[in-house]
Amino acid sequence: MRIVPNPKNTAVRILLLDDSRADADLIARELERSEIEIVLERVDSEASFTAAVDTFAPDVVLADNALAQFNSQAALETLRAISPATPFIIMTGAQLGGVTSASIRAGADDVVVKTHLGGLAASISHALDVRRPLGMLSHRQVEVLKLVAEGYRTRDIASRLGLRVKTVESHRYALMKRLQIDSVVGLVRFAIRVGLVPLDPGSLERISSA
């Protein structure tokens, strides 16, 4: 699991899934006008996207919603399997209510219309800021956080990770202290917010019953 929140004052590594060079140029020019320094890599297929997530290690992924062979939903599923906390923003040609709500529930951070790119820089900055606290956590603490948010009990987490129960409890205490969160409900909400787990009926039930 890769957790690489981008520190301030460094270039943001943006992976763009888009088969239109013209659209990519428009996006690049818009971001250059903002205060965000970027390194942009464009891909246009499932194979190149999967490889770039691993080798390019993006801070943010932008994905065209209309690619015929590999759309944004498939890209989001691929990203969440490899790097679940990397921000994912959908780029679309038109504002579609159904697409927007379904994408956000599935874990996308935002949906930006290509003809209205003025808010893209702010969307990227917000997504990075939300995830910055993850940089204070160890790899193991992030694993524990994800499993807690998925509804696993302490003994189950210990079994899955090959740890002692007391060790899991120590990791949970440490991550709550570092995140300044004092309840399991808060942990679930944070994990949903940073994309470690999707917003689905199960996660809502864990919030309400915790």
Q: Where are the domains of the chain?
A: 12-132, 137-209
Per-residue pLDDT of the chain (210 residues; tens, 9 = 90+): 444 555 555 889 999 999 989 999 999 999 988 878 899 999 999 999 999 999 999 999 999 987 878 888 889 989 988 888 899 999 987 766 666 677 777 778 899 988 889 999 999 999 999 888 888 888 899 999 999 999 999 999 999 999 999 999 999 999 999 999 999 899 998 988 888 887 665 554 554 554
Q: Which residues contact 134 (CB under 8 A, 6 or more apart)?
A: 3, 5, 85, 142, 194
Give the C-alpha distances (Å, rounded to integers) separating 16 from 19, 55, 59, 99, 190: 9, 14, 11, 19, 26
On the CB side of 180, CA atoms within 13 Å amount to 1
Question: pTM of the predicted model, to two decimals?
Answer: 0.79
Question: In 3-state terms, what secondary structure has residue 16?
Answer: strand
12-132 is a CATH 3.40.50.2300 domain = yes
Domain 137-209: CATH architecture, name and number where available = Orthogonal Bundle (1.10)
Query: Which residue(s) pair with 176 in the sheet?
Result: none
On the CB side of 89, CA atoms within 13 Å amount to 25
